[in-house]
Amino acid sequence: MDSGRARLTFLGTGTSQGIPMIGCHCSVCVSDDPRDKRLRSSALVEYGGLSILVDAGPDFRVQMLRAGVSHLDAILLTHNHKDHTGGMDDTRSFNLVEHRPVNIFCEKYVLESLKREYAYAFAEPRYPGAPEWNVHVIDGNRPFAVSSNACDELLVWESGRGYRRCSPDSSCSPHPVEIIPIRGWHHKQKMLSVLGYRFGNVAYLTDMNNIDDSEIGKLKGVEYVTINCVRRTPHFSHFSLEEALGFFRKVGARESYITHISHLLPVHADFERGLPAGVHVAYDGLVLE
């Protein structure tokens, strides 16, 4: 297992409606600062030689093209909301260019949601060209391993029939990395489980309003950590600014980043100026390494 350093790229840092929000003319939505143009939240993590995506929301296609991503070993889903899973159909492109199924890691309830929303991807027989996934159900209380997709089955296209799966190369060495899930809750009353993920020295968390101290202990020693914040005042399903800052103080990372940002917070430059030392506002395209 690899426990070294990771490189994280913020592909999207906006809340569920993104910035600018449709029909809004507030100072944030009309800002000409490119850092105030926010796609729905997602991150690309390069770790242990693997390329790992966290969440595939409605802006997935644009994010992949904008970042020039042509290879993914796995997609980790934090939870089942559409702003984090709404781009899953576009994973078909990776089936086509990599000739491999896409590895999806998520909790069981998220899988059940995918089965409802993307029933055609699970149907038998499957409609030709439907997404080809390998879904791995994870226990949010335990570390899990992710390996190179080079060791997965090959997809061979048969016109009019769809993909046929062929045995992988038996000589392939998977070189797995260990990922630590951190469970939080997307509601003050713990109504919806959300998983953040630690990749060695970097931890990516979003869409939380409640995190047990035992989970925060799993973040000890990280250099970089993220958390969500949609407004200054309390919110039933997201951290307020003060709650986010309190979380950062508990973790004690060298640098902390706010993501999943709405237009109810200031424009990027003003927001950044008002934060304590070591706390930053993430923006689309920002790289941590």
Kindly report the number of other CB atoms within 10 A of residue 3's CB atom: 13
pLDDT in tens, 180-200: 999 999 988 888 999 999 999
> What is the DSSP secondary structure assignment for residue 231, as one 8-state letter?
B
Res. 135: pLDDT tops 70:
yes
Q: Residue 195's pLDDT is what?
A: 98
Q: Which amino acid is at 37?
A: K
Query: Which residues lie across from 183 on neighbouring strands?
Result: 195
Helix ranges (DSSP H) in the chain: 60-67, 82-85, 92-98, 108-117, 213-216, 241-251, 268-273
Quickly state the pLDDT bin for 171 (edges 50, 70, 90).
confident
pLDDT at residue 238 tops 60:
yes
Split at pLDDT 50, 70, 90, the class of 2 is very low
Residue appearing with tokens 């409609």: 127
| Integer Cα distance of 211 and 149 in angstroms | 32
Quick: pLDDT tens for 24-51: 999 999 999 999 999 999 999 999 999 9
Query: Does residue 277 surpass a pLDDT of 70?
Result: yes
